[in-house]
Amino acid sequence: MFFESIDFSALELPPAAQGLRGEVRAFLQAELAAGAFTPHLGHTEFDAAFTRKVAARGWIGMTWPKRYGGGERSYLERFVVTEELLAAAAPCAAHWFGDRQTGPSLLRYGSEELKQHFLPAIARGECFFALGMSEPGSGSDLASVRTRAERVAGGWRVTGQKVWTSWAHRARAFFVLCRTAPDSGNRHDGLSQLIVELAAPGVTVRPIHFMNGHHHFNEVFLDNVFVPDERVVGEIGQGWRQVTSELALERSGPERYMTTFPLLVELIRRLGAAPDARAREMVGRLTARLWTLRRMSLAIAFALDPGPGVQQDAARAGPDLGTEAALVKDMGTFFEREIVDAARLLVAVEPTPDATDTFERYLAETIVCSPVATIRGGTTEVLRTLIARRLLGALK
């Protein structure tokens, strides 16, 4: 029914990936010891200096071809790096989108010029990307975007408004999903992806503050912004297919079930060596959930990995694991909440943003951000509809 191509009993990370894990841990421990970053939960922090250090170790764009600054390493090695960064609550916002979404999209659909222009800079940790998908009138219903691009000599003029654009105030450019042809009945036609520089004339970025005052969201206004033809990603009119084809990787990664994980570690520390039966039971239950989610996430990484020596930019017909990815994200986001709930029920503290104790600070940070995970990257409701459609087929 699901995971048809997967042999769960044989899933095992290769020695190279486990070796890499040691390197990543040593790096993170050294950074922490040097006070290079303070781990925070809730919002992933944007730290360009930290991102450059990660890049210097070859951990951004690590699956990409070497000629574009990549490391030609496996998805499994990337999986290990991602989960270690999350376990350490390292500040990854500067490179998260570029590594996970922009890079793979450019590899698959971008022109040679675009790849050469952006990929090495992303991999060096020097070029940060944001994503311009949602609009005031388009949340879950992404195909309803109204930002439009008009054909002009040598390119396009883009006008519209994007919203919830995380880190647009720090990024260099963003992928804009927009309408390049009027809606002719099939609303998935006529959409395209363009790369817009955030410093370009006609672009205005305004902050939207999160309910705790944190600034990572923005609204971005595009007023007749010129985008040259070379900055079109893939084909004009193919934007919908391009955006949805990368969902398996986007929705199945450890970032979909590990964003509150460091709170679980602090909870275990706080509970001590011999807590009562209720605490033991809750910790055991959460562990079983984590262990299972990780196996499912790993299975998708295994299945998508093209294997050693295969070029990652080839337009290959990999297995379609979009539904499996939706399952991981749906269950993963609820698991993240269960950690928060277990922490507050087992250790009675009144949450405050001023807490100096790590456990208490993590608790406060995760509670405030707890609505977010089931909304971004596909709401619970959208995911479940997608999963049901696969199971039920098209009912008439």
- The answer to the question of residue 388 lying near other proteins (CB under 8 A) is yes
Least spacing, CB of residue 157 vs other proteins, in Å: 39
Segments in the chain forming alpha helices (H): 15-33, 48-56, 75-87, 93-97, 103-109, 112-123, 239-245, 247-252, 261-271, 277-304, 322-346, 358-369, 380-392
Q: How many other CB atoms sit within 10 Å of the CB of residue 204? A: 13
- DSSP three-state, residue 255: helix
What residues numbered 275-294 form the site for other proteins, per CB under 8 A? 275, 277, 279-285, 287-294
What residues numbered 292-321 form the site for other proteins, per CB under 8 A? 292-296, 299, 302-303, 305-307
Closest CA to 337 of 296, 297, 366: 366
Least spacing, CB of residue 253 vs other proteins, in Å: 15
- Indicate the residue type of 219: E
- Residues in the interface with other proteins (CB under 8 A) total 65
Catalytic residue among 250, 255, 324, 360: 250
Structural contact between residues 172 and 197, judged by C-beta atoms closer than 8 angstroms: yes
Q: Which helix (H) or strand (E) holds 130?
A: strand 129-132
Q: How many other CB atoms sit within 10 Å of the CB of residue 82? A: 24
Structural contact between residues 20 and 81, judged by C-beta atoms closer than 8 angstroms: yes
Stretch binding other proteins (CB under 8 A), from 10-18, 40-48, 193-201, 369-377: 10-18
Residue given tokens 């311009």 in the structure block: 132
In angstroms, the CA 115 to CA 109 distance is: 9
User: Is 97 or 302 the residue whose CB approaches other proteins more closely?
Assistant: 302
User: Is 305 or 313 the residue whose CB approaches other proteins more closely?
Assistant: 305
In angstroms, the CA 27 to CA 55 distance is: 12
Interaction pattern, residues 328-367, with other proteins; x per rule: CB under 8 A: --xx------------------------------------
Candidate residues 107, 343, 367, 383; the one interacting with other proteins per rule CB under 8 A: 383
- The answer to the question of residue 200 lying near other proteins (CB under 8 A) is no
- The answer to the question of residue 24 lying near other proteins (CB under 8 A) is no
User: Is 209 or 295 the residue whose CB approaches other proteins more closely?
Assistant: 295
User: Is 293 or 368 the residue whose CB approaches other proteins more closely?
Assistant: 293
For CA atoms 244, 162, 337, 388, give the dihedral sign.
negative
User: Is 147 or 259 the residue whose CB approaches other proteins more closely?
Assistant: 259
250 is catalytic: yes
Catalytic residues: 250
Q: Footprint of other proteins on this chain (CB under 8 A)?
A: 1-3, 5-13, 21, 83, 87, 264-266, 268-269, 271-275, 277, 279-285, 287-296, 299, 302-303, 305-307, 324, 327, 330-331, 381, 383-389, 391-393, 395
